[in-house]
Amino acid sequence: MKNKDVDEDNVDVEQIEGHSGGKTRYSYRESSHGRKTVVNYREASNSDDSEDEDISDTDEETYKPAVEKRTRYRGLNSHPGPQIALCVPVRQQVPAFETSRRSPSPPPIEPEIEQRAHQYPQRVPARFPCQILDPDRLAITKQNAWFFAEEGALDPWANAYNAYRFGHGPRRSQPYRQLHLIGDPMFEDASDWSENIRWAKEQHSAFGVTGWTEKAIHMATITEHRVRSLWVSEEVVASGLRQE
């Protein structure tokens, strides 16, 4: 402990000055005449510096402005962790005009057509005679079927007699195929071409008629007869399709 006078302009309540690599601490008291007297004097060590640094560091870490704390809490609330998303199906409303366009109401069935449809299972086929074919005519046989079939066909005969081999209709030139030998058309096909094939197959199975071919005059005769007699195939009755 040392007492010494210090100029009051250079001394605060506690003054720290550099002194030979360390620090000097002064503590004073003020007399009634306004004179300040140093009452405590000591050299500061490195341990004191570390304590001051630790205290300052602690104070800086402990002190958190209110704005920073609110920001931290707000951030925690904005990221609460994994959440489960609830998927609620939304029913899509379709305008009335689109609904009517998508599902049109079927046209009413005429009573006469409905009555004939119910009588169809009991109907008996009527024989319609035709001329006998010339045995020396040009024809597609098993020997020359490869010439009329598609290239690379595994079964030239079946391919040449396919209902759609030459398009959706009959051949326009010789040799003309016999209708009862042509393959079955697609079930949903209700065209005159398909119905003529089905009619000729019925004539062959019921009466053994083999003279109807895809020649133009034969096709016109069969179509006229079917329309006049109101003949329809089982496929058309089952599917409810109408002829074009």
pLDDT in tens, 125-178: 889 989 889 999 999 999 999 999 999 999 999 999 999 999 999 999 999 999
Closest CA to 206 of 186, 180, 168: 180
The two tokens of residue 74 are 């707000």
Closest by CA to 199, choosing from 160, 234, 163, 164, is 234
Q: Is the pLDDT of residue 194 over 50?
A: yes
The helix (run of H) or strand (run of E) holding residue 159 is helix 156-160
| Mean pLDDT, rounded, for 23-32 | 57
Assigned token pair, 169: 């209709």
Give mean pLDDT, residues 27-43: 58
Strands 14-19 and 36-44 come out as: unpaired
pLDDT of amino acid 8? 44
Q: Which amino acid is at 72?
A: R
Among the residue ranges 64-78, 119-133, 181-195, the one predicted with the least confidence is 64-78
pLDDT computed for residue 42 by the predictor = 57
Percent of the chain with pLDDT strictly greater than 90: 39
Q: What does the pLDDT read at residue 83?
A: 56
Q: Which amino acid is at 123?
A: R
Amino acid 17: pLDDT: 46
Mean pLDDT across 14-29: 50
Give the range with max mean pLDDT: 10-14, 44-48, 209-213.
Answer: 209-213
Mean of the per-residue pLDDT values of the chain:
73
Say which residue, 72 or 106, is predicted with more confidence. 106
What pLDDT is stored for residue 71 in this prediction?
52
Q: Is the predicted pLDDT of residue 108 greater than 50, yes or no?
A: yes
Instruction: Go through 103-123 and write b for each residue having 16 or more CB atoms within 10 A of its CB, e for each that does not.
Output: eeeeeeeeeeeeeeeeeeeee
